[in-house]
Every structure is written in structure tokens, then in C-alpha cells.
Structure 1
Amino acid sequence: MAEAALHTETTCKIRHVHIECPICLTRFIDPKILDCQHSFCLKCLQELVDKQDPKTDFIICPVCREKTSIPDKGPSALLNCFLLSSLIDDVINPDGPREDNQKQTCSPKCRKHTDQELCFYCDTCDLLVCLKCAVFQHREQNHKLTEIKDSIQSYRQAVEEALMKFDECRKQFQEVDDSIKHSQHRLQIMVDRALRDIVAKEEEEVEKIRKASRLLQERVTQISIERGGQFSSIQISNSDKMSRAEQIVASVNDLMQHANDFELLDLKPKVMHNLTFHKELKFQTVQHSKSFIGFKGHDVVTDADIGEILEEEKWEVKTEFREYGQGEGEIIDPVDVACLSNDDIVVTDSERRILSKFTSSGSYKSQGVQSRTEDGQLEDPRCVAVTSDDLLLVTDGEDVKVYDSELRYIRQFRPSQNEVEGQSKSLLAGIAVDKKDRIALYDCERKVISLHNKDGSTISTIHHDAIGVIGSPSFLSVNSKERLIFTNPYEMKLVCLDFMGNEVFNISTSLDGKTVFSTGVCCDDAGDIYACIVRKNGDGDLHHYDASGEHIGCLARGLYGALGMTFTPTGDLIVAALHSVKILHRV
């Protein structure tokens, strides 16, 4: 009894609160939805429109005062609220349709010829018709008539196709939303870095620049708020569109599941009208370039001018050192670079088979072991990476050799070679270290990428067709999202795999149909990708890609013979080029 009372109380509340029109205060008849998601009877909305100025092309919601554009065909063309209609039916008949009603819906009669059953559907008039109507009225006018079972089959197929198109819209929405989230994340990282740079400059100049520093910080924050607001506004707009679309789809799905064939056909024009929404469902995107912001300090500081805000990302060479030769502090063939936590730069010279260390301004500091008889002598050095505690890892033939920050040899390890059947040799090329000090190795002889702990023990081995041809000087990077990004120069590819070996993207780096080679690659803190693209004549450019592999643009030119590269802790970019090392900064 208590359960029955509760059911009656709930039903009464639904009847009085949820299924009554706020205008006429009676049960909804043909409910329509406004843009604000409030529903009203079609007749009530029509009366509102009739009472207002004929030039007014919108309806003001009586509940929240939001505006909704009036369709060209009037309020009747507004979206139907099938969910509300179904709720009304459930409240009126909580135990389902009575048996006598069910018998009536099994064989409905023609309204014009009451002794005739409805057996055809006129696609021209969108009406159920009986045999007499078909013969004496519709056929004479050459209307398209189909049997009910054929018409309902075609109807369901059309609904299914419309819903499939909506699935494509949902996928597009997710892709756009993921892109916006990535841009928001990158914007925040860039804002944090810019604020840190501003504070560092402020501390350097002390009291003289504090006022200007605060102004710049406010400007950066203001830009962050403005752009973040734009991103959020676009997200909300896309989500609102998606929400309205989901409601329509849910109503249609509910109707398709619970209504009988005759009811479906009777509602066909309205349903199909509502399902055309996907044609207008366009999602806004954001400009990826808006996720960048930086700070450039001025050399000459006045009370009112310590630097400027960088709202577009461009790079230029700040420093270059190119002492060519065999002497101390000279380099011949730099292949790769790494940067220690104190901004010192370590260079692998494949011709001289040594490691050399320079300051961030290019001044020579020291070089590693050269004697062939001592442990740690490099025989075929290629790429270098650095761990969180400033250990240097150098690929040398089949081995990875480990040095401290003073270039003193510590140990070495050789990755397991049992993973590839029939391959006894190994040639390690690219190497990268992630934030957890996991080591990724690119073996271009066995065409695998292996993951290792800091002590050299193997975590996993990844096989993939995109892993480069034998002997190719490929480079490797790991971003913050546990993605392996590597170049395949001879096939002109930039490839991204996850740690399980699943392909995230595989894109061509060719430019305007011309032959180019993708060489060095590295990632910023947000996961965006920076790659060196070298033409056949040796001219090199720095290109920017987002984390999904979309090409953003060319950031710098004039990097002749560019190979390996890496970021410094302060955000500069170091590039190993032909006979030289270049340090680039944002301008």
C-alpha cells in the first residue's frame, strides 16, 4: 500500500509540474522546444507570435526571457519534444495501453472510408491511406504509394542513415574538443613559462623594474583570460549544440523503440524534419597559434620597459659555435646534442668519436675520453640524451654508454637482442628519456624501438612497419603523453606510437611535392612536436606540429644540414647542424 501511495504521489507531481505548459497551465499538446530548452504547447507559442509585432523574428521565452529565432514556416517548424510527449502518454496510461486500444491500433480504419483498413502509405502526401483512397484519389494523381511494411522498412533505414551521420558529428565533436583541450593545456604551460621568465627578469633588475614587471604579468594574465575565455566559450557552444543534438537523438531512438508502425508513419514528417539537424551541426575550432604566449626581455632596461609579450611563435638563431677542426674545443661532424640542468650543452661528434661540452653561450669547457684503450671510448657515437639527474646516455653501435655531467665514463649496457628472430646485429641510433627516466632506443638495424629502465633492463620491445630502413639516421623523442615520436628520413615520415606500439599518426614531411628529409625531432612540455626538415640541397627548416600530428607552420629557416636537437631548461632550442651547433630562441 505504501508503494502504491508513493507511486500515486509521484505521478501526481509529474502531472502537475512536469507535463503542464507554463503558459496555459494544462497538459502539453504538441510540445515544442525553444533554444533555451524550455517547452510550450504549439498553440500557446503561435498565440504569442500572433500577438507580437509581425516584424519581430524571435520568440521571448516566458520563463527565462531567452530569445529563439522563429523558423520561416512558423512555430510549427520548431523541434518537437518527443521525450515530453512520451512522458505524457506514460502518465495518462501508467500501466500501458488497454487491451481494447491495442486491438484498435493493430488494424486502424480509414477516417474517410470507415469500413476500410489502412494498407498503403502515400509518400507524396505523407499519409496512411486505405485501398479506396489509393484507387480513387491518389493513383489518379500519380502519387507514390507503397505497402506499409515496405514504407516502414524504408523509413527505418532513413532514420538509421540519419543517426549514422550524427555519429560522424559526434566523432568530429570529440576531435575538435580534444584539440581545444590540448591548446588549453599548451597555453597554460606557455603562460606559466612566460610568467617565470618575467619574474626572473624582475629579480635581476630588482626595484627598478617591479612596476613594469607587474604590468607585463597583468597583460599575460589578461591574454590568458581572454583566450581561455574564447576557448571555453567555443567549448560551451559546441557542447550546447551536442546536447541539443543528443536530446533529439534520444527522443527519436525512444520513439523508434516504443511506437508502433502506424504511429511512426504518422509522425514521419516531424521526425525526419528534426533529423536534418546534423546538416547544420557545425563545431567551432580554435586557432592553435592562440595557445602560444612568451616573454622576451630587453637588454636595456628602463623604469617602464623591461621586455615585451610574444603573442606569435617565431624563432631565430641567438648563438652559433662552429670551430671546425681536430683540436680541443673544435667539432667536425656534430650529430646530436643534449642539455644539462645547468644549461651546459653536450655534443656528439661522430667524426672525432668524442663528447664535447660547451656553455650555453658556446664557450668550450671539456671533452670526454679519447684513448681507444680506456673504458668508455666511443667507436660509433650517434645520439645522446640526459636523465633527470644529469647522466648522459650515448648510443654507440650496439651499446648505450653512460657518462656523468663531467663526461666521465660510468658504465654501459647492451639491449637484449632476442626479440627479433634471425637478427644477431644491432645498430642503435635515436635515444630519448621521459620524465620518469625510462629510456627509449631506436634500433635501425633490427627495426625496433625498445623501452628500458634506467639500469638498462628491458621493459618492452615495439615492432612497427614505420620504424626506419636499415642504417637510416633516425631521431627519437618522447613527449609528456607517453608517446614515441621518431623520424624516418628516407621515407620522409614523422611517426608517433604509444608505448604499446599502437600508431597515433604517420604523416609525410614532404614540402610542396619536393624531396625532403625529416631529421631531428623533440617535444615541448605541452607535447607539441618540433622537427627539422632538410631539403635535398641541405637547406633546413624548423617545423611545428601539434600533439596529434597536424602541421602548424614553419618557425625558422637557414638550418643547413640540421640533425639532432633538444630544448634547454629555459626554453631555447639547440640544433646540431653541419660543422656547427646553433642555439635558437623565440623572438
Structure 2
Amino acid sequence: MDSLDFKLYEVNGILHRKLEANPKIFETAVRDFCDGVVKMNGNDDQLAAALSGFGMDQKDSAKDDKEEKEKAKQAVPTWQQSLKIGKRSEDDDFHSVTGIAVHPSGDIALIDKNDNMDADWNRGSPRVYVFNPDGTQKFVLNSTDSKESPVGKLVNGQGIAVTNDGKYLVADGTTDVKVFDAAGTYLESFSTLSEDVHKGIKKSSRCVTVNRNSGEVLVGDFHRELVTVHNGDDFKLVKEIHVGLQPVHVAVNKKNQVAVCMMMHEPAEVVAVNFFYRVLSHKRAGGKVVAFDYSGDELFTIVPIMGDELAKPYGVVYDSDCGLYVAVTKFDISSRLAKPNTGHIHYYNSSGEFVKCVAKGLYWPLGMGIGKDLLAVADKQSARVFKPE
């Protein structure tokens, strides 16, 4: 990375922190700023002058609310791995653990979307495993109602959640979410479509979570670019929250704020070819986390950065204080994929401001689940359980 690029990483961080409360202002600011910054050729005086136009200087981010931020960091625990779970042992022998949930009993449920993949990497079938709190396997969810009528069979399961009364919910990559009882027996399925929606449209229930206050179930529809809200008792559709991008993971807190981790595929050519081309094309092609209220109004946007490199967000989960954990990895711009063995868990406050990194050393963290003094992470080839230090 050359010196100008490094300076611009710093500039992007300042702009992001100062303007993240209003993403629309952030977009406009960097578009205007990037046109001028490429003409500077790394000149420090010009860079400082440009920053002063935003009412900032290059040391601004280090001075602002330093004591408050330090107190906030101290209040948030760092998490230490207490358990690693593989299919048969602690080996990394799952193929693609994408979703994970913590049962009220303390059991850990995870979904391997490509279980039984063969040696030639032909895709397997999704399967949900449930483990005791000590990591010993308890059972596999019954994925068929009977051999004659396999209505409970998983098709393309990727997300999992647990209701307040202990039922397992699996977002199955179709219009349906499948429901299993606490013993793993298939009960029913419910649709994410309203009656007036054409049944032939492309749709995909990619992720699912539960509002612990109301019991409502929220499902992210990847292809329709929305989150559906369902009654917690009969799973009937209550409303749709249009988020405008493809949800990969979803979380909700006690204030009914919905955090959605999103995939984006807009053309990168919409931004001028300079450093901000890279930053903003990452926002479109890589991913971001956006928080909404139940009305669909945007509250804040998180575009994570790890050091001086772009980061790709995957899983999200709220704690009881409405703080948000985000699973991130470093990001390869050319492949649009994560860089394995670079996984972190970042913590943001209820306003979407970065507080601290709470865990490192993960392979490729995807979904997350939270329980009492417990954070469970689907780490692609295994599951990891963290407890506060």
C-alpha cells in the first residue's frame, strides 16, 4: 500500500466515524471528497485543507471523546474461547457451518448446509446438529416426517434460531421456515409470503431470529431483499420490512431495532477510480450491516475495517444492552471472498459506533448466537463457544 492510500484509509475512518449517523451524508461527502483528493498527489497540506472543509483535522478522531470511548471499552468484556465443536471431535470436520443458536437449556444447535459433501466437493445436504453445553452431540434434527412423506426434509437450510419456548426454527432457503420441537422432531412449516404475493417469484429464506421481548420471528428473504415479521404463536405474517439489499444474517433487540448483515452486488463503476473506488465498491460488492426500526427507517450503517484493510461482515447478534456483535474477516477485493484465518468479532454500541474487538483467531466466522455469559460462533468448519474473561 503506498503512502497516499494509507492516508486515505485514515481519511475514510475519520469520515466514517464523523458521519456514520447519517449514511446518506457519508455517501455524498466521500463522493465530493474523492474527486479532489486524487489531485493532491499525497500533499499533506492539501490533505489537511480538504479535511478542514469538513470541520476536521487529521488528529480529530484521536481526540474526540477519548475518555468516554475508553470507559465504553472497559465496560465490554473480551471473550475467551472455552469450547470448540466438530462433528465427531474438536476436528474441523464440518463443511459449511452457516448458522448457530443457543437453546434456553444451554444446548448449542448448528446447521451445516453442506453436510456429507463428498471428496470431489459435490454439494451435500443440510443437517442440523444439537450439542450439549459440554460439546457432546445430543441429536440430529429429524429432517423427515416419514419415508412416505418427507415434508420436514431440509432443502437448503442456512439459518437457525430458537423460540422463547424452545422450538428450533430453520430458514430453509425457500419460502418456508421449518419448525422442530425441543427434542428435534419436525412439527410444521410456515410461509414467509403474504397471500397476495405471486407464488412463482424467486425467494429465499436465508436467516431467522427471534425477538426475545415479543416472541416475534424475523426472517431475512435473500432474493426479495426484505425481512418478514411473524407472530410468535401461529407464525402468521405481521409485516414486511424492505431493506433494499440481500440479507445474510439478521438480529433484533429489545427496542425493536433490526440489524441486517447484507450482500451487495451493485456495479463498482458508479464511483470514481481512486482510493474511494475501493472503499465504496467494497460497500457494494462486499457487504455492510444496516440497522432499521420496524417501520423500515434506517438508523445507522456499519462498514467494518480491520486495521488498514477492508473487512467483510457476516454474522450479527444483539446483547441485552442493545449492543451489537458483528463477525468479520479480512476481505479479498478481487475474489469478493473472505480471507480465511482472519476472523474477528467486533462490538458496536446501540448507535452503531465501534467499541472494541472482543475476539480474534477465528477461521471464517458466519452466524452467531448468544446466551447467558456465552457467545456461540459458526466458524465454517467448526463451532466455537466463547465466555467472558
For the superposition of Structure 1 and Structure 2, which TM-score range results when normalised by the shorter chain?
Answer: 0.5 to 0.7
The Cα shift of 1:338 comes to: 1.0
From 378, 398, 406, the counterpart of 2:154 = 378
Contact 2:130 2:139 (8 Å CA) reproduced: yes
Distance 1:515 1:358 in 2: 34
The Cα shift of 1:518 comes to: 0.5
From 214, 224, 236, the counterpart of 1:457 = 236
Q: Against the structure 1 CA distance between its residues 579 and 491, is the aligned structure 2 distance closer, same or farther, given a 3 Å change threshold?
A: closer
Q: Give CA deviations for 1:210-257 in whole Å, capped at 9, x if unaligned.
A: xxxxxxxxxxxxxxxxxxxxxxxxxxxxxxxxxxxxxxxxxxxxxxxx
- 2:205 counterpart letter in structure 1: L
Corresponding residue SS for 1:412: strand
- 2:152 counterpart letter in structure 1: G
1:484 paired residue number: 258
The Cα shift of 1:323 comes to: 3.1
Alignment of 1:180-579 (within 5 A): 287-288=68-69, 290=71, 313-323=77-87, 331-352=94-115, 353-371=126-144, 373-396=149-172, 397-417=174-194, 424-434=201-211, 435-454=213-232, 455-465=234-244, 467-468=245-246, 474-489=248-263, 490-512=285-307, 514-535=309-330, 536-538=338-340, 539-568=342-371, 570-579=372-381
The Cα shift of 1:356 comes to: 1.0
Q: Against the structure 1 CA distance between its residues 364 and 423, is the aligned structure 2 distance closer, same or farther, given a 3 Å change threshold?
A: same
Distance 1:457 1:422 in 2: 17
The Cα shift of 1:291 comes to: 5.4
The structure in which a higher percent of residues are helix is 1
Contact 2:194 2:237 (8 Å CA) reproduced: no
Q: Give CA deviations for 1:311-359 in whole Å, capped at 9, x if unaligned.
A: 662112111012369xxxx743211111111101111111122211101
2:280 paired residue number: none
Distance 2:142 2:328 in 1: 32
Q: Against the structure 1 CA distance between its residues 510 and 288, is the aligned structure 2 distance closer, same or farther, given a 3 Å change threshold?
A: closer
Q: Give CA deviations for 1:254-285 in whole Å, capped at 9, x if unaligned.
A: xxxxxxxxxxxxxxxxxxxxxxxxxxxxx978
- 2:139 counterpart letter in structure 1: S
1:234 paired residue number: none
The Cα shift of 1:492 comes to: 2.6
Corresponding residue SS for 1:350: strand
1:98 paired residue number: none
Distance 2:217 2:288 in 1: 22
The structure in which a higher percent of residues are strand is 2
Contact 2:87 2:94 (8 Å CA) reproduced: yes
Distance 1:286 1:481 in 2: 27
CA RMSD of superposed structures (Å): 2.6
Q: Against the structure 1 CA distance between its residues 395 and 558, is the aligned structure 2 distance closer, same or farther, given a 3 Å change threshold?
A: same
Corresponding residue SS for 1:416: coil
1:99 paired residue number: none
Distance 1:417 1:398 in 2: 10
What is the percentage of aligned positions where both structures have the same residue?
24
Distance 1:416 1:514 in 2: 39
Q: Give CA deviations for 1:521-546 in whole Å, capped at 9, x if unaligned.
A: 10100100000001231221000000
1:80 paired residue number: none
Contact 1:355 1:407 (8 Å CA) reproduced: no
Q: Against the structure 1 CA distance between its residues 407 and 460, is the aligned structure 2 distance closer, same or farther, given a 3 Å change threshold?
A: same
Q: Against the structure 1 CA distance between its residues 552 and 334, is the aligned structure 2 distance closer, same or farther, given a 3 Å change threshold?
A: same
Runs of 4+ with deviation above 6 angstroms? 283-286, 419-423
Q: Give CA deviations for 1:389-435 in whole Å, capped at 9, x if unaligned.
A: 00111111221000111111111111125677897121011211102
Distance 1:577 1:284 in 2: 34
The Cα shift of 1:369 comes to: 1.9
Distance 1:514 1:377 in 2: 41
The Cα shift of 1:361 comes to: 1.5
The Cα shift of 1:292 comes to: 7.4
1:241 paired residue number: none
Corresponding residue SS for 2:206: strand
Contact 1:415 1:456 (8 Å CA) reproduced: no
Moved more, 356-365 or 412-421: 412-421
The Cα shift of 1:506 comes to: 1.6
Corresponding residue SS for 1:287: helix
Q: Against the structure 1 CA distance between its residues 284 and 575, is the aligned structure 2 distance closer, same or farther, given a 3 Å change threshold?
A: closer
Distance 1:542 1:350 in 2: 22
Q: Against the structure 1 CA distance between its residues 416 and 380, is the aligned structure 2 distance closer, same or farther, given a 3 Å change threshold?
A: same
Contact 2:73 2:356 (8 Å CA) reproduced: no
The Cα shift of 1:364 comes to: 0.7
Gaps in structure 1 of 5+ consecutive residues: 1-171, 176-282, 294-310
Contact 2:72 2:355 (8 Å CA) reproduced: no
Corresponding residue SS for 2:71: helix
Distance 1:541 1:432 in 2: 22
Distance 1:400 1:422 in 2: 15
1:155 paired residue number: none
Alignment of 1:156-175 (within 5 A): none
Greater CA radius of gyration, 1 or 2?
A: 1
Gaps in structure 2 of 5+ consecutive residues: 1-17, 22-63, 116-125, 264-284, 331-337
User: What's the TM-score once normalised by structure 2's chain length?
Assistant: 0.66
